[in-house]
Amino acid sequence: MRVNMSASQLARGPCPEHGFNPGTHPVPTSNAPRIAPKDLNELMTLLEIQVLGLSECLVSPGFILELDGNAAPGIHYILSGTGRLHIEGAEPVELTPHTLLIVPPRHPLRLEVPSHHAGIAPTTVLGREHKKVVDSVSRFRAGNEEPMTMMICGYFRATYGASIDLFQTLSTPIVECFDAADRLDVYLRSAFDELAAQEVGAGAMSGALLKQVIVALVRRSLKSNALWMERFALLGDPQIARAFAEMVARPAAPHTVASLAATAFLSRSAFMARFSDALGESPMQVLRDIRMRQAAAQLRTGDVTLDQVARNAGYASRGTFVRAFRDVYGTSPADYRTDTPAA
């Protein structure tokens, strides 16, 4: 999936109550059509969230905590305190409680909490050298003086099928300001506790909780003038989004390029061009990946026959299904079921 953004742009909604000045950071606006609520609801419902890790960051006044970039996009939420976040390739972000950021993959960042005393240079602490792992959760600390700024950091994947990751090609940060009534801190704290407890289903539960945060972020975009959502080619092209939502909602249906083009109200050639431009692959390649994701999930449950898994994925021929599955996962469905723990 491609995203067309300048490296210097910062996608942010107006937050005057938190010191954000729209006059100095203009918010992009557009009269372009937005994705239909029905299609967006379908896409949000079927979006799969996997939490790769969560950590807690505590920074005292007069300190800077440096964190390395990650191969996956990051989500960062300020639970308490204030400060400034420096993200590679973007303008510094002033932080207050309930500020939420989505940071692109491979973007190092620095959380700075200015000293209460003028003229004192901050002390920099490298996160990788001051990390403690407690109950499978990483904790970073820079300084010991109260009050400390507390930030929850996470890395995640938000996917459709085996290859479509909504945030993987994000090139500039997304910043939105929430408040306590939105309860994002409750969702993230609960996800944090789930991973720390390491009980059965912790991964699924933490993913479901983080998904509520992503949905809140999308809702906020719909209510504001910040058009960061339209910067994703998929979400920014309502007609392609409509066809994609149909594929994700009903992967077993007998979709063809012609039927999907009709769903999008486009000619076949225009649909192929715009779909490939939005997702980087042809419609049939994307459909195969979506079907294989569903098949893999059913194989992990262990109680669906291989023939039924194939039919549920839209394949009348078991042999064709097996070849398609091997192309995506590098192994046969039977071996995948044997080697993969049950969900």
What pLDDT, in 10s, does the model give residues 178-235?
999 999 999 998 988 888 777 777 888 888 999 899 888 877 776 665 555 555 666 7
**Strand-pair partners of 93:** 85
Q: Is the pLDDT of residue 159 over 80?
A: yes
Q: Is the pLDDT of residue 146 over 80?
A: yes
Residue 309 near residue 295, CB atoms below 8 Å: yes
- The count of structural domains within the chain is 2
The reply to whether 216 and 247 lie within a common domain is no
Would you state the pLDDT for residue 226?
Answer: 55
Please check whether residue 254 lies inside any domain of the structure. yes
The reply to whether 134 and 265 lie within a common domain is no
Please check whether residue 63 lies inside any domain of the structure. yes
Q: Is the pLDDT of residue 91 over 50?
A: yes
Give the CATH number for residue 329: 1.10.10.60
**Residue of 76, 46, 18 lying closest to 247 (CA atoms):** 46
The reply to whether 107 and 222 lie within a common domain is yes
Give the mean pLDDT of the chain.
82
Residue 312 near residue 304, CB atoms below 8 Å: yes
What's the token pair of residue 266?
């486009």
Residue 25 near residue 190, CB atoms below 8 Å: no
Q: Which residues of 133-156 are buried (b: 16+ CB within 10 A; e: fewer)?
A: eeeebeebbbbeeeebbbbbbbbb
Asked which of 179, 201, 232 is the last residue of a domain, the reply is: 232
Please check whether residue 71 lies inside any domain of the structure. yes
Please check whether residue 120 lies inside any domain of the structure. yes
The reply to whether 162 and 211 lie within a common domain is yes
Query: Could you give the C-alpha distances from 191 to 54, 154, 212, 328, in angstroms and in order?
Result: 8, 10, 11, 30
pTM exceeds 0.75, yes or no: no
The reply to whether 100 and 215 lie within a common domain is yes
The reply to whether 128 and 249 lie within a common domain is no
Q: Is the pLDDT of residue 3 over 70?
A: no
- Report the Cα 219 to chain-centroid distance in Å: 14
User: Look-up: residue for tokens 């994700």?
Assistant: 248
Higher-pLDDT residue of 88 and 36 is 88
Please check whether residue 244 lies inside any domain of the structure. yes
Please check whether residue 2 lies inside any domain of the structure. no
Give the model confidence (pLDDT) of 167-181 as tens digits.
877 788 889 899 999
At residue 9 the predicted structure's pLDDT band, cuts being 50, 70 and 90, is very low
User: Look-up: residue for tokens 């239909």?
Assistant: 36
The reply to whether 35 and 131 lie within a common domain is yes
| Mean pLDDT of all residues in 78-107 | 92
Give the model confidence (pLDDT) of 287-342 as tens digits.
998 899 889 988 988 788 999 999 999 999 999 999 999 998 999 999 998 887 65
Please check whether residue 228 lies inside any domain of the structure. yes
DSSP notation for 249-273: H-TTS---HHHHHHHTT--HHHHHH
Give the span between the Cα atoms of 56 and 309, in whole angstroms.
40
Which range marks the domain in which residue 246 is found?
A: 237-339
How would you class 170 by CB atoms within 10 Å of its CB: exposed for 0-12, middle for 13-18, buried for 19 or more? buried
Cis peptide bond N-terminal to 147, omega within 30: yes
The reply to whether 180 and 317 lie within a common domain is no
Q: Is the pLDDT of residue 6 over 50?
A: no
Asked which of 232, 256, 271 is the last residue of a domain, the reply is: 232
Count of helix runs (H) and strand runs (E) in the chain = 11, 14
The reply to whether 30 and 139 lie within a common domain is yes
Please check whether residue 3 lies inside any domain of the structure. no
Asked which of 202, 232, 262 is the last residue of a domain, the reply is: 232
The reply to whether 103 and 213 lie within a common domain is yes
The reply to whether 71 and 198 lie within a common domain is yes
Give the CATH number for residue 64: 2.60.120.280
Higher-pLDDT residue of 270 and 23 is 270
Would you state the pLDDT for residue 95?
Answer: 95
What's the token pair of residue 131?
């990390």
The reply to whether 225 and 277 lie within a common domain is no
